[in-house]
Amino acid sequence: MRLRPSFHHKNSENVLGHLLACFLALYLAALLRRKLSAAGVEAQWDEVMRDLSRLRAVTVKLDGERFPLRSPVRGCAGRVLQAVGVRPPALATPL
C-alpha cells in the first residue's frame, strides 16, 4: 500500500480524517489477506483488486417494478467473496 503526501492546510481534523482513512484501509487490506490465506485462496493482490473493482450493481425500474442487477462475478472475485462470507445477489431479481 502506498501513501502519498497529503496537504491539509485548513485544520487538523482533515489530517486526522486522512490518517484514519489510511489506517482503516491498511487494516482492511491486512484482514482480507488473512481471510484469503485461511481460505486457501492464492491470488495476486492486483488480481484481487481488479476483479473486485469490476463488480457493479444498479437498480432498474421497468413497468413500475424495480430490479437490482449486478455484473457477472469474474476471475477470483467469487473465491474472494466466498472467503469473507459474502454471497453475491442473483443477477436480476424483482424487489
Domain boundaries, the chain: 12-83
**pLDDT class of 84 with cuts at 50, 70, 90:** very high
Strands (E), the chain: 57-62, 65-70
What's the average model confidence in pLDDT over 69-77?
93
Q: pTM for this structure?
A: 0.73
What is the pLDDT, as a whole number, of residue 68? 87
Interval 8-56: pLDDT, tens: 566 777 778 888 999 999 999 999 999 999 999 999 999 999 999 999 9
- In this predicted structure, the answer to whether residue 87 has a pLDDT above a threshold of 80 is yes
What is the pLDDT, as a whole number, of residue 29? 95
- With 0-12 / 13-18 / 19 or more C-beta atoms within 10 angstroms meaning exposed / middle / buried, residue 49 is middle
